[in-house]
Amino acid sequence: MNKLTNKSKLVSDKQMTLSEKLYLPAIFKGMIITFSHLFKKKVTIQYPEQTKEFAEIYRGKHVLKRDDEGRERCTACGLCALACPAEAITMIAAERKKGEEHLYREEKYAATYEINMLRCIFCGLCEEACPKEAIFLTKEIVPSSFERQDFIYGKDKLVESVDNRIDVSKRQTAEVLEFKKNKNFKHNK
């Protein structure tokens, strides 16, 4: 039979030799190993002064994007809520009134949009499901709090401000952009 890996070891119950039974050579060997670690490079990152580099595609707190003219992209279709495996997203849709065209891009928008950050597992499926490129995960970290209520993020915390746009170009990989351009898929129309 072919071995799957070359890591397997043949087990035997041979008697230990006297020097092995004394354990002293083994103990010295172990002591030398630990001693050598005294001089190795330390792996500690000294946090407030140094911070760890995040991965380019780190999935942190969500953001609800606006388009180039500053209108909210979300149309409250509910696909993100449907895709969410943790059922963290809830929303209430509303119809756009006259005179609100500069606020919302589509005719329907999310009146409330809430993500429960305690339920969220930051898998990024909402982002994948979104047909309007409205929700993205950012590099920001959800801060801790003493109250459970504080972890339910509404639109006030999620929607990006007009002046201070959040760059999500790293998350829109070429494949994703290509995929979203493909008009054969129904939701890209």
Partner 1 sequence: MDWNYIIYKIILITAIMTVSLLVAMYSTYFERKFAAWFQDRLGPNRAGPFGLMQPLADGLKLLFKEEFMPNTANRFLFIMGPMLAMFVALLTSAVIPWGSSLNIGGKEYALQVADINIGILYIVAVTSVGVYGIMLGGWASNNKYSLLGAIRAASQMISYELAMGLAILAIVMMSDSLSLNEIISQQKGINWNIWYQPVGFLIFMICALAECNRAPFDLPECETELVGGFHTEYSSMKLGFFLFAEYINMFISSAVISALFFGGYHFPFEDSLGLSQNWMAIIGVVVFFMKISFFGFLFMWIRWTLPRFRYDQLMRLGWTWLIPIAIFNILITGVVLMINN
Nearer residue to partner 1 within complex by CB, 40 or 148: 40
Nearer residue to partner 1 within complex by CB, 17 or 46: 46
33 exposure class (CB count in 10 Å sphere: 0-12, 13-18, 19+): exposed
Kindly list the residues in this chain that would bind partner 1 in the complex (CB under 8 A): 27, 30-31, 33-35, 37-38, 40-44, 46
- Considering the complex, what minimum distance in angstroms separates the CB of residue 25 from partner 1? 13
- Considering the complex, what minimum distance in angstroms separates the CB of residue 27 from partner 1? 7
DSSP secondary structure letters along 49-86: TS-PPPPTT---SEEE-B-TTS-B------HHHHH-TT
Residue 71 near residue 104 (C-beta atoms within 8 A): yes
Nearer residue to partner 1 within complex by CB, 21 or 181: 21
- Considering the complex, what minimum distance in angstroms separates the CB of residue 169 from partner 1? 37
